Structure formats: structure tokens, C-alpha cells
Structure 1
Amino acid sequence: MHNSQVKKILITGPESTGKSTVTQQLAEWYDTLWVNEYARDYLDQLQRPYNYKDLALIAQKQFQIQKINADLANDYLFCDTGLEVIKVWSEFKYQTCDPWIKDHLSLQAFDLVFLMDIDLPWEYDEYRETPSKEIRELLFNTYKKELTDIYGGYHIINGTLDERLKKIKEIINQA
């Protein structure tokens, strides 16, 4: 059973927007757990390019890790992405999304949702695929719609990494 005292906080958005860095720093600041983006761990172990079917496996493990850590966290659980990232990416790359992912989106039940803006410069890493400004804008706008549909709203967070961290802490402390 989920620890109802723990507030689950989602940090989401397009690639290269500071999600992982900010999520980890928030967990350290609030002395609690964070859930990393499982897709990176999965891809690190994969001996081939990922495909559509891999996305459902990644989503199931991400969901499972969120549930386990929610029971173990202190006060807050910070999640570096959730199933919405996999849905948005799946529909962008493959024009479809596995039904399991869609069925489990609303079951994540986040208390606060932060959408990271694309105002930071895109930085290369081996898993990032969308450096173009146009695609980043398209994905950002897709997130706005998805987060409204799934969670009923979100806070857009922009600025430098330090500014992002400060803004999120202010909203958390007011909640």
C-alpha cells in the first residue's frame, strides 16, 4: 500500500531540460528518495537499438520503481519522469502507444507536476534524439496538453538549473 503521507512530485518534460539534475538535487535537499528515469538504465543494458516493444517494458519497470520508492520515501518522492514521457515519445516516434502505458498513466497520482521548459540549451548525450528547436517546441506543447489531460495541470519551470531548483522549492513549500 502506498504511504499516503508521502507527496509524489513529478519532474517531466522534453529531453535536455534539467530533469535528472533537479530531481536528484531536490531529493538531496529534502533528504528523501528519487526515482531516476529507468529508460537510461534499460538502454545501458540493451545490446541493440531499442524498439516500440521496449517502451512498454520500460514503462512497467518505471511504474514499479515509483510504487516501491513511494513506500520507502520520507515526506516526498521525486520522480524524474513518469509514464507520460514514454507515451509522448512513443506517439512521436512510432505514432502509437502501448495500451498498458495509457491505462496506467492516471494511476501514478502525483501531488505536484513540474514541466521543465525548453529554454536551456540542448546538450548531446547518447540517448537524446531531438536537438532541433522545432521538435523541442512540438514536444513541449505536447507535454502541456498531456499533463493537462492526465493530471489536470502542471507548473512550468524555466531559467537556469539553480533558478529551476529555487522555483520548485518555493512551490513545494507553499503546497
Structure 2
Amino acid sequence: MSNDAAVERTDESRIEDRIRDSLERADIDPDRVAEKAYSFRMLLEAGLDESDAETLRRRFSLPWSFETDGDLDRRSTTVRGLGDAEREWVVASADEDWQAFENVSPPDEPTESADEPERPYPHPTPLERVTGVGPDDADRLATAGITSAERLATIRAAEVAEVLELNVLHVRTWRHNARELLEETS
């Protein structure tokens, strides 16, 4: 190993000497493991101890296996922690047609009126409807994220007045008027 490679090796990519020796005894290049050239299954098949292979798999985020044929079925029986529903999904997804969708035609008639789309909440009340708030005031409040009477009714007047460099009494009056407006409309 060159000095440059030794300098580049970080604590996270460093392989413990004991595991490095085990890798070399199994004819596995430790640097290639760090480059993710080996899978967890390949390490086990080469004769590496399972706990060492698991340590390397976690440290370097090694793939379980590079094989894909039947791998999902095999893993579903060997991976610990899968529930019955997950095992059933794995079995069902082994079929080629598992993601096939039926041809669904659009309904002949729309179920909702095209004139009025469903809206789960009321339209916001414009700031200009609040007594004392003019178009310029509304623009200024909008720069602070206050774009409706509903929002104006919930603000902290002192904070808004400070941020927008307004008289706190004006902001409190607007807040009060917004609350009254909303009470009238509800």
C-alpha cells in the first residue's frame, strides 16, 4: 500500500486488522471489499466468519447478493424479521405478472359537478375586507406571510409590528378587526 492510500483511508473505511487477516486468508482483497466489489453472500461463500461478514456488510453497506435469480425467494426464507404478510408478498411478487394492472376505463359520467370542484375548506378571506387594511397594507403584510384575514387574526401583533416596522397599535387594531370580521362571517 502506498503512503497516499494510507492517508486516504478514513476511520470508517478502515478494516480491523483481525478481519483484514481473515479476508486475506480467504483470498479476498480487503481494499476491494471497501470498494463494494463483494457482496455479503460472496464473503460467506469464501469462508469468512458470519459475524465478520456482517460487520463488513454494515460498515460498507454491502449488497446482500449480486445474484438475482430466485434471490428474493431465498432471502424471504433466510432474512430474519419478515412477517407472514411480507413473506406472502415475496412469494406473490416472484411471478412475472405480479404488477399487471387491469384495464380500467374512465367513468362515463363524472361523479362531481364540473362547475364546483369539492373544496374541503373555505376560501381565505382577503385582507382588504378587514377594516383599516388597505391594498398597500395588505401588500406589506403579505411580505410577512400574512395573506388572509384568518392568518391576521392569529398573529402576534408585537412581532409583526417589529418585523414590518409598523406601529404596534395599528397591527393590534387590524388583528382585532380581522377577528371581528371572522366572527361575523361564521
Give the structure-1-normalised TM-score: 0.25
More strand by share: 1
Which structure would you say has the larger RCO, counting Cα contacts within 8 Å and 6 or more residues apart?
1
Give the structure-2-normalised TM-score: 0.24
Mark the structure with the bigger radius of gyration.
2
